[in-house]
Amino acid sequence: MLIMFNAFWVLLKRDLLLALRRRSEVFTVLFFFLIVISLFPLGVGSEDATLKKIAPGVVWIAALLASTLALDRLFANDYVDGALEQLTLAPQSLPIMVFAKMIAHWLLTGLPLVLISPLVGLFYHLPTSTIGVMMLVLLLGTPVLSMIGAIAAALTLGLRGGGVLVSLLVLPLYIPVLVYGSGAISTSMVVGLSIQPYLLLLSAFMLLALIFSPWATASALKISLE
Amino acid sequence: MILEVKNLQCIRGDRELFTDLSFQLEANQLMILEGQNGSGKTTLLRSLCGLYLQDEGDILWDGVPIQKQDENYHRDLLYLGHLNGIKADLTVIENLRINAALAGNTPSLDVLMGALDTIGLYAFEDFPTSQLSQGQKRRVALARLLISKAKLWILDEPFVALDVAAVELLQTIIANHVDNGGMVVLTTHQEVPLTSGKIKRLSLNEKPLDDGEC
């Protein structure tokens, strides 16, 4: 048990260290998110009411696209240099190892989006309370994106043109998060409506993904490595 | 500890790589796998690790099929394939320490440095592996052999990219492991002299190559 926990930490720290050595990969995702978001006011117009109306959807769609952009790197590097093969042969349960990689991936690609989202709120003239809600739902929703995405990334590992295939596989699966995530932000701008149901549903998605995705991803990796 | 392979069959696409393959490997034994390119050596080694699922037959470790005892088997197993499994962005010592930790060992710094010294990477410990030559990268991967506590080593073409001195060194490392009650399965075109223990040979060249051509 202790060894397993140790290996979990070692892998998590390794992935963070690798990202630290190659910071550009983290920043590309973040800038992609910001650029997509700043394109919308240019195309749609910058009236206050319009911006407030589209903001929830825009934030979430940008987050979905940014997270799919980051997905093919989740296992691809380890696959190419053989580290993944060694990982599956390590004397630890593979789902636990996969979970460590998912957490590292979220810390590097999901969490930065959460932290930068107040800036988006300013772009779109959102009230402060709504910015708070936006950060909260992104905090609940982005881990789900990483975890569902990991399954698709594992399935398409080593395929030619896998990057596009990942987007096709994974974007439809992101729909529930998109619907309830942006729903929560829109609702928070209406006086008198509660956002609690949205938060509960998003939390439920997260728990569900937490339980199933490490196992599904581990099985998919084994298939991809054959 | 005993590795048993019973009536193993592997089919890739519609080509039968090998069929009805059986052998046993015990402590103090080295098995050299022979066969021309494409005869299924790597596939057999990957099947022995459980990376590739065989179509028929059983692979037993200590009498239990390896698919039923993933973690226990992995604790006794060290696999070195064509890929080195080292990260280019990490230094030599970081690679070694992390690989050991993932394999369930926590060697001290002295042990790690000793292993690097033996493998001929003394003073390279803080180099990023991306700056090393092909042969040196292979040496980083091979340094795992010196740290590992695994009983069974499965090595796929371990001598590739190594210079004469490193080949000799690796031959000694393998011979020592066999001496100390270990087992080794490897594919190579190099001879491995043993001081004690037994060499088994297995050839996958049973069928002539032009057999299945159409």
- Please say if the pLDDT value at position B189 is more than 90: no
Nearest chain B alpha carbon to A96: B102
Token couple for A44: 């749609």
pLDDT score at B211? 43
Determine contact: A98 vs chain B, CB below 8 A: no
Q: Considering the domain boundaries, does residue A14 fall inside one?
A: no
A65-69, B10-14, B116-120, B183-187 — which is least confidently predicted?
A: B10-14
| Tens of pLDDT, residues A191-200 | 888 999 999 9
Helix (H, G, I), strand (E, B) or coil at A100: helix
Instruction: Name the interface residues of B facing A (CB cutoff 8 Å).
Output: 49-53, 70-72, 74-75, 77, 79, 81-90, 94, 98-99, 101-104, 106
- Please say if the pLDDT value at position A123 is more than 90: no
B85 CB neighbours in chain A (<8 A) are: 81-83, 85-86
Residue B192's pLDDT band (cuts 50, 70, 90): confident
pLDDT (mean) for A21-32:
90
Q: Considering the domain boundaries, does residue A2 fall inside one?
A: no
pLDDT score at B212? 39
Query: What rounded mean pLDDT belongs to chain B?
Result: 86
Contact A90 B102 (CB under 8 A): yes
pLDDT (mean) for B77-105:
91
| Tens of pLDDT, residues A38-51 | 999 899 888 888 99
pLDDT (mean) for A8-14:
94
- Please say if the pLDDT value at position B101 is more than 80: yes
pLDDT score at B207? 53
Nearest chain A alpha carbon to B104: A3
Count structural domains, chain A: 1
Q: Considering the domain boundaries, does residue A52 fall inside one?
A: yes
B87 CB neighbours in chain A (<8 A) are: 14, 18, 77, 81, 83
Residues A141, A64: Cα–Cα separation, whole Å: 10
A17 CB neighbours in chain B (<8 A) are: 90, 94
Q: CA-CA distances (angstroms) from residue B167 to A126, B3, B158, B159, B190?
A: 67, 26, 9, 6, 9
HSE-up (13 A, CA, CB side) for residue A106: 21
CB-based burial of residue B109 (10 Å sphere; 0-12 exposed, 13-18 middle, 19+ buried)? exposed
Q: Considering the domain boundaries, does residue A161 fall inside one?
A: yes
Show the domain range for A200.
Answer: 21-225
> CATH second-level architecture of B2-207?
3-Layer(aba) Sandwich (3.40)
Contact A81 B53 (CB under 8 A): no
Nearest chain A alpha carbon to B50: A89
| Tens of pLDDT, residues B12-67 | 888 888 888 888 898 889 998 888 888 888 888 999 998 888 888 889 998 898 88
pLDDT score at B12? 81
Q: Which residues pair with B32 in a beta bridge?
A: B186, B201
Q: Considering the domain boundaries, does residue A41 fall inside one?
A: yes
Is the interface score ipTM higher than 0.90?
A: no
Q: Considering the domain boundaries, does residue A16 fall inside one?
A: no
Contact B104 A86 (CB under 8 A): no
